[in-house]
């Protein structure tokens, strides 16, 4: 294997996760080869729900604005009892990360957008109709045997390999990585429609043991139904058009709508026992399979891509030590499993197996309405696990788990630039590391900050956010100054004048540097961010934040 002829990253699988990873790596300037055994991207609906964190990832990749044009933004869910009366509602109104918490989309349109987005770069070699048949690794790289659609075979050498090849993941099998969890006993029928006559824009969840189901609106007069198969029903029986039309007639005005797809699925709650083996990484469905009840399958995969992309870029470009890649396995599985558990819990609410259980659950939710904090916990989706890490590539701030800022995703408020333009915060953070100061005088925003040997190597962008009561002018050279336009940043970080925040490219806080005692944190960062040519020092005690849980409680 000649290192001079290796590509930095080979991505196997051009679904939404592989395509997003390719776009992110290209944004960071990393050449990739993208291999997909199919001749094109998917043409039929699959995933249909995208959340605020995922839209933020597309923002980093420069595609969020185009994506929003294809979406039905900001919708909620209504849970219906056995008589189809509402007993619970989920309608989040916050946009902490810059986007609505729930948005409907079409996967074929997303994949087409992501594939088109690759054309912005000269660093992507996208090869559709190319299947990986064998993978071999050693300490210096990986060798992939590839078969093209015309039968031609060739060898590809890569420094790193990203397996984004789906739930059946041939690469996961080649790596001999098992999965643990469980498969649902009951199958579900998925029906996708075009030309719906139902203009209700919330998801209806039918929590009825006689036939649990979901009715989801989509963009452009599309709609999806999902129904659980009952005992004795066969795949052939439930996909018969007459059977499907009867189900549609019983659940709204779409009996005669155009059926795009009708297919039976088995749902899984599974996770790979390793997410990394040697120089190969598992992402998306190759790493975890999530029940659809929370709409988090694709979103968890996009989190994988956001987490891994900047680390791969830093390593292959010589800015980060290779040990930074170990944190992918440290950081992602815990949060992904929390979301799987959330989906399992929602499934129990949707699929009570007896009428008595259904009435008990539904009466309990009605009672929650009488307690505003508990009702708010449901309606605002505060039960969704926060995007945060209990251990990984960051330096602890010593705060209690519920209070810590480190390992959590940074909020994204609206800010005002010096030329009075309104922007989302990430637009001024750019696509790399950022060092944030909250100060009324940008000239003094970084006074007292110790020298950081890694700052130039990592290309850290310095940003001063002023209070909403101060105009952001007269910033010194090398500092971007913006105004906290609505006060959302100060509200989220009320003590922000007392520290600086080092933010990673994936928008997670890497360190909180106290203004009055900065040296200890900066020293810990310099050990963690030791240059690639130097031995990677052991992190300082407490450098990995020990957090038992990041779930909110009522």
Same domain, 141 and 26: yes
Task: Average pLDDT across each block of 10 residues of the chain; the chain has 554 residues. List them in order.
Answer: 69 98 98 97 94 97 97 93 95 92 95 98 96 95 96 96 97 98 94 97 96 96 96 97 98 97 96 97 98 92 98 97 96 95 93 94 94 89 89 93 93 96 96 97 96 96 96 90 97 97 98 97 96 56 37 33
Same domain, 454 and 310: no
Closest C-alpha to 545, from 502, 498, 511, 520: 511
Same domain, 288 and 417: no
Same domain, 422 and 276: no
Same domain, 291 and 397: no
Same domain, 431 and 296: no
Residue 192 lies in a domain: no
For 521, the 3-state DSSP assignment is helix
pLDDT of residue 5: 58
Which CATH number characterizes residue 522's domain?
A: 3.40.30.10
Same domain, 128 and 275: yes
Which tokens sit at 326? 């170990």
Same domain, 497 and 408: yes
Same domain, 535 and 419: yes
Domain boundary among 341, 371, 399: 341
Residue 83 lies in a domain: no
Domain boundary among 307, 322, 341: 341
Task: Give 223-252 pLDDT, tens digit per residue.
Answer: 999 999 999 999 999 999 999 999 999 999
pTM equals: 0.94
Domain boundary among 287, 319, 341: 341
Closest C-alpha to 502, from 534, 532, 458: 458
pLDDT of residue 544: 42
- Are the C-beta atoms of residues 486 and 413 closer than 8 Å to each other? yes
- DSSP per residue, 172-240: HHHTT--EEEEEEEEEEEEEEEES------SEEEE--TTS-EEEEE-SSSEEEEEEEPPTT--HHHHTS
Residue 173 lies in a domain: yes
d(CA 389, CA 10): 27
Which CATH number characterizes residue 8's domain?
A: 3.50.50.60
pLDDT of residue 247: 98
Same domain, 151 and 42: yes
Domain hosting residue 118, numbered range? 3-71+104-179+270-341
Residue 548 lies in a domain: yes
Domain count, the chain: 2
d(CA 391, CA 410): 17
Same domain, 278 and 153: yes
């Amino acid at each position: 294997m000649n290192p001079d002829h290796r590509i930095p990253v080979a991505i196997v699988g051009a679904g939404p996760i592989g395509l997003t990873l390719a776009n992110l790596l290209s944004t960071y300037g990393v050449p990739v080869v993208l291999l997909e055994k199919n001749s094109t991207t998917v043409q039929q609906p699959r995933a249909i729900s995208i959340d605020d964190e995922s839209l933020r990832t597309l923002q980093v990749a420069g595609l969020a604005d185009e994506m929003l044009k294809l979406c039905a933004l900001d919708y909620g869910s209504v849970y219906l009892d056995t008589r189809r009366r509402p007993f619970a509602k989920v309608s989040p109104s916050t946009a902490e990360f810059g986007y609505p918490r729930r948005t409907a989309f079409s996967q074929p349109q997303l994949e087409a957008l992501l594939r088109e987005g690759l054309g912005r770069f000269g660093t992507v070699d996208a090869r559709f109709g190319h299947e990986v048949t064998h993978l071999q690794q050693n300490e210096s790289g990986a060798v992939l045997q590839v078969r093209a659609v015309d039968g031609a075979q060739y060898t590809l050498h890569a420094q790193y390999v990203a397996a984004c090849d789906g739930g059946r993941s041939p690469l996961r099998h080649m790596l001999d990585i098992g999965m643990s969890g469980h498969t649902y006993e009951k199958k579900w029928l998925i029906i996708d429609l075009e030309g719906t006559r139902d203009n209700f824009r919330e998801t209806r969840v039918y929590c009825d043991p006689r036939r649990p189901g979901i009715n989801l609106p989509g963009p452009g007069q599309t709609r999806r139904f999902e129904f659980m198969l009952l005992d004795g029903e066969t795949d052939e029986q439930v996909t018969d058009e007459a059977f499907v039309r009867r189900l549609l007639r019983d659940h709204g005005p779409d009996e005669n709508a155009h059926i795009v797809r009708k297919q039976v699925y088995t749902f899984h709650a599974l996770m790979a026992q390793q997410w990394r083996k040697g120089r190969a990484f598992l992402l998306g469905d190759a790493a975890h399979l999530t029940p659809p009840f929370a709409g988090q399958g694709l979103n968890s995969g996009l989190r994988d891509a956001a987490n891994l992309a900047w680390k791969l870029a830093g390593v292959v470009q010589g800015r980060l030590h290779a040990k930074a890649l170990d944190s992918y396995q440290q950081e992602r599985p815990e949060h992904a499993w929390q979301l799987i558990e959330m989906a399992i819990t929602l499934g129990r609410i949707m699929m009570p197996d007896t009428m008595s259980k259904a009435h008990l659950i539904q009466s309990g939710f009605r009672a929650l309405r009488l307690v505003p904090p508990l009702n708010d916990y449901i309606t605002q989706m505060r039960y969704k696990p926060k995007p945060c890490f209990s251990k990984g590539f960051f330096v602890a701030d010593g705060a209690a788990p519920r209070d810590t800022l480190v390992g959590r995703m940074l909020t994204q408020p609206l800010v005002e630039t010096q030329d009075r333009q309104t922007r989302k915060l990430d637009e001024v953070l750019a696509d790399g590391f950022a060092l944030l100061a909250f100060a009324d005088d940008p000239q003094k925003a970084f006074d007292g900050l110790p020298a950081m040997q890694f700052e130039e190597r990592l290309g850290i962008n310095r940003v001063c956010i002023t209070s909403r009561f101060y105009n952001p002018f007269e910033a010194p050279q090398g500092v971007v100054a913006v105004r906290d336009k609505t006060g959302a940043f100060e509200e989220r970080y009320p003590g922000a004048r007392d520290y600086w925040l080092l933010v990673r490219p994936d928008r997670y806080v890497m360190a909180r540097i106290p203004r009055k005692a900065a040296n200890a944190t900066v020293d810990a960062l310099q050990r963690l961010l030791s240059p690639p040519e130097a031995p990677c020092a052991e992190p300082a005690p407490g450098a990995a934040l020990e957090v038992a849980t990041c779930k909110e409680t009522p």
